[in-house]
């Protein structure tokens, strides 16, 4: 029973972590809190749904295509909104307000196009086999979801730690001005970051849609709150922090449901967030969220 | 005289709401060391920021190796060999010394020749794995210069390399700049330490509140009574 719940917690937490990772990348590198990340999450799920149920693509093609689509939505938001605010050196509040607007627009758009009621993946396409590990049962779908999120996170950590691109991104995170003086094409890498972050956010949407088998235009907002909680728990802008924060949130929720009841799920996880902020305002790995000029 | 490597033609730049550079014309010939001196707030750093493309110009032109680069992006300028060591060194403190150096060669294809840099600055080799934020001021300046050299500069711009350093370290830094110049790299130096700057430079320009007030060879300027009174402490 306990082992089973731990597996469920890791599975849910890894998807939260994936969502939070994209969110924190944008904050760390662009210095912007992109509140349309939940909207992108939702559109990613709808994109996959549409590709599978209307275009009858197999899921292993539909998922990558929906990921790229989500990335392009993020790129579009950057080019249309964030870039202009950067050029004007707008204050931190402006991108937040502007991306809330983008999120509302995306939600309305999804409502208009797909209706307000929840939609489902045609899950007959997945065989409902289970993996048996001792007395733990892991549905194959859940195993796949968890594996994909963990692989994507490992890939991102590897890129950031070990590649030239990652070095350049970390340089921009510390100081866009210093990075520009080294010949790093800062503006181009801002676009790339927005693309990657949105692709990760959209993927999280697909995976949550698959694991709860429900997609609705309103699924982005609660996820956004969880994402904010996860990155604050971990320390703003810190990749390890976002991953651990997401996992922690997943664990807290699953155990709240198991040992209390599902009504207490959000109360418990956000209560923990509150306690964390009292104890360590900068989060687990947080330096203070300042950057040099 | 041959065509200059760098020419600023009636350059005007505003910084915030202030017109910090009011129509400056300046030339740097290949192989020269040119110093830009003047009081704090004269607009010297603003010129360098505009040359690196970090702030926009209001009017005028920057001609670099015969091309008008006034609208080029910062990374294009670095790729073409116009490289700056910024004021305050712009060291990436959360990255290691080695990573800072590797990023210096970001615009260059292939593996960077770190050995040449380690040969010139042995201390950087010893500290390669440490976070750059833990280096002393002088070591950070060496890192900033070493990192800039890895970008294969044809013109190296330095903004106040002596700032915040002990006199002995300042001497060391200027000795390094002399060696770099002997290797054939052209230098444009912004410096408040006018005495050191004029010792190194072939020519110098003097700026006051956004305008050029004097210009000439370093030898002439060292003996100019106005310079002696204003900057060399008579």
Residues of A in contact with B45 (CB under 8 A): none
The length of chain A in residues reads 293
Q: In this structure, what DSSP letter does residue B2 have?
A: P
The interface predicted TM-score (ipTM) is 0.93
CB contact under 8 A, A182 and B151: yes
Question: Is residue A122 over pLDDT 80?
Answer: yes
Q: Which residue, chain included where needed, has tokens 């008008």? A: B68
Size of interface A-B (CB pairs under 8 A): 68
Contact B74 A167 (CB under 8 A): no
At A275, the pLDDT band (50, 70, 90 cuts) reads confident
Q: Is B233 a residue whose pLDDT tops 80?
A: no
Q: For residues B153 and B35, what is the distance between their CA atoms, to the nearest angstrom?
A: 17
- Contact check, Cβ <8 Å, A180/B106: no
Regarding predicted confidence, which is higher, B226 or A165? Answer: A165
Q: Which residues in A lie closer than 8 A to residue B55 (C-beta atoms)?
A: none
Which of the four pLDDT bands, split at 50, 70 and 90, describes residue A1?
confident
Beta strand pairing call for A130-133 and A136-139: antiparallel
Topology adopted by domain A2-279: ABC transporter involved in vitamin B12 uptake, BtuC (1.10.3470)
B108: left (phi over 0), alpha (psi -120 to 50) or beta: beta
Q: Which domain holds residue B180?
A: 6-231
On whether residue B35 sits in a domain, the answer given is yes
Please tell me the distance from the alpha carbon of residue A70 to that of residue A17, in angstroms, as a whole number: 17
The C-alpha of B225 sits at a distance from chain A's nearest C-alpha, in angstroms, of 37
CB contact under 8 A, B103 and A175: no
Confirm whether B70 is domain-assigned.
yes
Bridge-based pairing state of the strands B155-159 and B186-191? parallel
Residue B87 included in any domain: yes
CA angle (B96 as vertex; B84, A199 as ends), nearest 5: 90
Flag if A167 and B95 touch (Cβ within 8 Å). yes
- d(CA A17, nearest CA chain B) in Å: 24
> What's the CATH code of the domain at B135?
3.40.50.300
Q: Strand B33-38 and strand B18-28: pairing? A: unpaired
Helices A37-53, A186-212: inter-axial angle, 10-degree rounding: 60
Residue B17's pLDDT is: 82
| B78 in contact with chain A, both atoms CB, cutoff 8 A | yes
**Number of domains present in the structure of chain B:** 1
CA-based nearest distance A242→chain B, Å: 18
Query: How does the average pLDDT of chain B come out, rounded?
Result: 93
Which range has highest mean pLDDT (A276-280, B14-18, B167-171)?
B167-171
> Using an 8 Å Cβ cutoff, are B19 and B44 in contact?
no
Tokens of residue B93, six digits: 């403190």
Residue B1 lies in a domain: no
Domain spans, chain A:
2-279
All residues of chain B having their beta carbon less than 8 Å from the beta carbon of residue A177 are 54, 86, 90
C-alpha to C-alpha distances, A188 to A83, B75, B190, nearest whole angstrom: 11, 10, 30
Above 70 in pLDDT, residue B159? yes
Q: Which residue from B74, B92, B93 is facing A180, i.e. has the nearest CB?
A: B74
User: How distant, in Å, are the alpha carbons of A282, B85, B185 from that of B69?
Assistant: 43, 19, 20
Q: For residue A218, is pLDDT > 80?
A: yes
What is the rounded distance in angstroms from the CA atom of residue A284 to the CA atom of residue A248? 11
Region B122-149 average pLDDT = 96
Q: Do A182 and B78 touch (CB under 8 A)?
A: yes
pLDDT in tens, A19-56: 999 999 999 999 999 999 999 999 999 999 999 999 99
């Amino acid at each position: 029973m306990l082992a089973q719940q731990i597996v469920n917690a890791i599975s849910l937490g890894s998807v939260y972590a994936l969502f939070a990772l994209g969110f924190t990348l944008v904050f760390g590198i662009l210095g912007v809190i992109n509140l349309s990340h939940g909207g992108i999450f939702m559109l990613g799920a709808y994109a996959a749904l549409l590709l599978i149920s209307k275009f009858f693509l197999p899921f292993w093609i539909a998922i990558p295509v929906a990921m790229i689509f989500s990335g392009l939505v993020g790129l579009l938001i950057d080019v249309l909104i964030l870039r202009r605010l950067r050029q004007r050196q707008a204050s931190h509040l402006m991108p937040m307000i502007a991306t809330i607007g983008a999120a509302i627009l995306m939600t309305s758009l999804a409502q208009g196009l797909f209706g307000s009621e929840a939609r489902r993946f045609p899950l007959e396409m997945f065989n409902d086999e289970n993996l048996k590990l001792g007395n733990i049962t892991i549905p194959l779908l859940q195993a796949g979801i968890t594996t994909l999120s963990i692989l994507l996170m490992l890939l991102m950590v590897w890129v950031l730690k070990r590649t030239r691109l990652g070095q350049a991104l970390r340089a921009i995170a510390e100081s866009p001005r210093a990075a520009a003086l080294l010949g790093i094409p800062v503006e181009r890498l801002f676009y790339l970051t927005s693309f990657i972050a949105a692709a990760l956010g959209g993927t999280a949407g697909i995976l949550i849609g698959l694991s709860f088998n429900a997609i609705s235009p309103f699924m982005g907002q609660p996820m956004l709150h969880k994402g904010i909680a996860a990155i604050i728990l971990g320390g703003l802008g810190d990749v390890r922090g976002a991953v651990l924060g997401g996992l922690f949130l997943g664990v807290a929720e699953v155990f709240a449901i198991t040992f209390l009841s599902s009504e207490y799920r959000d109360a418990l996880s956000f209560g923990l967030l509150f306690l964390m902020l009292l104890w360590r305002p900068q989060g687990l790995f947080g330096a203070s969220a300042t950057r040099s000029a | 005289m041959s065509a200059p490597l760098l020419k600023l033609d009636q350059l005007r730049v505003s910084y915030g709401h202030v017109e910090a550079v009011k129509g400056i014309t300046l030339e740097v010939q290949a192989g020269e060391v040119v110093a830009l001196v003047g009081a704090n707030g004269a607009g010297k750093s603003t010129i360098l920021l505009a040359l690196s493309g970090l702030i926009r110009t209001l009017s005028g032109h920057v001609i670099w190796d015969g091309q008008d680069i006034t609208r080029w992006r910062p990374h294009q300028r670095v790729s073409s060999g116009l490289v700056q060591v910024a004021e305050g060194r712009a060291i990436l403190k959360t990255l290691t010394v080695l990573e800072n150096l590797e990023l210096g060669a970001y615009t260059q294809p292939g593996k960077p020749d770190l050995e040449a840099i380690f040969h010139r600055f042995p201390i950087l080799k010893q500290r390669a794995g440490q976070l750059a934020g833990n280096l002393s001021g002088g070591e950070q300046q060496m890192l900033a210069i070493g990192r800039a050299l890895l970008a294969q500069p044809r013109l190296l711009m330095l903004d106040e390399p002596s700032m915040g350093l002990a006199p002995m370290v300042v001497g060391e830094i200027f000795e390094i700049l002399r060696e770099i110049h002997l290797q054939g790299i052209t230098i444009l130096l912004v410096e408040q330490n006018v005495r050191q700057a004029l010792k190194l430079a072939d020519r110098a320009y003097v700026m006051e509140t956004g305008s050029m007030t004097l210009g000439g060879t370093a030898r002439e300027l060292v003996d100019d009574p106005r310079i002696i009174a204003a900057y060399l402490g008579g």
